[in-house]
Amino acid sequence: MFTEETAIEVKGVVQRRKHFQLGPVELAVPKGYVTAIVGPNGSGKSSLFRLLLDLSKPDEGEMTVLGERVGGDDRQLKARIGYVPDQAIDVEDCMRAEEKAAFASLWYPSWELNRYQELLRRFEVDPSIKLGKMSKGMRRKFDIALAMAHNPELLLLDEPSSGLDPIAWKTMIEVLHRYMERGDRTVLMASHIVDEVKRLADYIVFIVHGRVLGMFEKDALLESWYALYIESGSTAGSWKAMPGYREHEQLSGTQVKLVTSDVLEAESWCANQGLRITGRQKLELDDILTVLIEQERRRIHS
Ligand SMILES: Nc1ncnc2c1ncn2[C@@H]1O[C@H](COP(=O)(O)OP(=O)(O)OP(=O)(O)O)[C@@H](O)[C@H]1O
């Protein structure tokens, strides 16, 4: 059910392609937060964005964005959204940045010239250059500025930092933090950059092979996934009973590395089993993704 606190709701959405199926996707993106979609190449992130913007159609299911059903007359809805696609739109290459901006200012009732100019200044973009003549990073910065100039309620960012240099990347992080300060705006972004997700996201959605593996509160996620190193003793073989069990690896001698997504319960379990924990190591976001990809691969092939 759509609630006031939900910016995006996806219910039972499936999109079938010749070599790929997205979904069924169930997702509720909370309003007022940054949610990052994290997944390997070809997992369906851009496809999901395109569905949310009604740029392609699902075979099944329904979506609600900012309280409006996707797929209806959505001109007003689109005016409330800012979108940075994964790739710049080629047909606009012959336009100068300022021409594109003039066009956008007519389309968006809430377009704010001062804001647009301020963003261009911050990103150091020269608006007199033709879009097709811009460097990749320059074009990206322009696209971000353009997507934010009408103060959208919802920002959909498909790998926004692709091509940005470290300075521009920092500026983007600052600009997005500032954008979120009001508390009622929502960002859904796809990203491969661990540092970016860690700095920006409140929630993380993992997507692998078109399947959404769940949505997690970022801090809780990063606090709960650990590798535990234990002396295996006589418990060998029963690792899967450990709370949050994800995988294990026999190291040299009697040492075993266990990966859990529920470290507190797993540690109690080890204590109850009389297992000595000799080391513990927090998993980073990319390590977690690697484990999830491997699990998904095993699930598909089982
Ligand atoms: N227009 C299309 N027609 C057919 N298949 C497509 C189309 N667009 C994407 N796909 C396929 O859908 C799958 C998901 O692609 P998508 O671009 O959504 O992945 P992604 O997670 O955004 O990847 P990346 O991280 O590389 O950007 C891929 O197998 C891709 O080949």
CATH 3.30.70: which residues of the chain? Answer: 226-282
Q: Which residue has the higher pLDDT, 67 or 72?
A: 67
pLDDT for the residue 2: 44
Q: Is 43 in the pocket of ligand 1 (CB under 6 A)?
A: yes
Assigned CATH for 226-282:
3.30.70
pLDDT for the residue 234: 58
Residue nearest to atom 24 of ligand 1 (CA): 41
Could you identify the atom of ligand 1 that is nearest to the CA of residue 56? 1
Q: Give residue-wise pLDDT tens across range 38-65.
A: 999 999 999 999 999 999 999 999 999 9
Q: Give residue-wise pLDDT tens across range 254-263.
A: 889 999 999 9
Distance 17 CA to ligand 1 centre (A): 9
Q: Nearest-CA neighbor of 138 among 157, 125, 119?
A: 125
In terms of DSSP H, where are the helices of the chain? 45-52, 75-78, 97-107, 113-123, 136-148, 166-180, 194-200, 218-224, 263-272, 285-301
Q: Is 45 in the pocket of ligand 1 (CB under 6 A)?
A: yes
Q: Give residue-wise pLDDT tens across range 26-42.
A: 999 999 999 999 999 99
Q: Give residue-wise pLDDT tens across range 155-192.
A: 999 999 999 999 999 999 999 999 999 999 999 999 98
Distance 43 CA to ligand 1 centre (A): 7
CATH 3.40.50.300: which residues of the chain? Answer: 6-220
Q: Is 15 in the pocket of ligand 1 (CB under 6 A)?
A: no
Could you identify the atom of ligand 1 that is nearest to the CA of residue 47? 18
SS3 235: coil
Q: Give residue-wise pLDDT tens across range 95-115.
A: 888 888 888 888 888 899 999
Residue nearest to atom 27 of ligand 1 (CA): 41
Superfamily of domain 6-220: P-loop containing nucleotide triphosphate hydrolases (3.40.50.300)
Q: Nearest-CA neighbor of 239 among 231, 227, 248, 251?
A: 248
Q: Cβ(202)–Cβ(218) under 8 Å? A: yes
pLDDT for the residue 1: 44
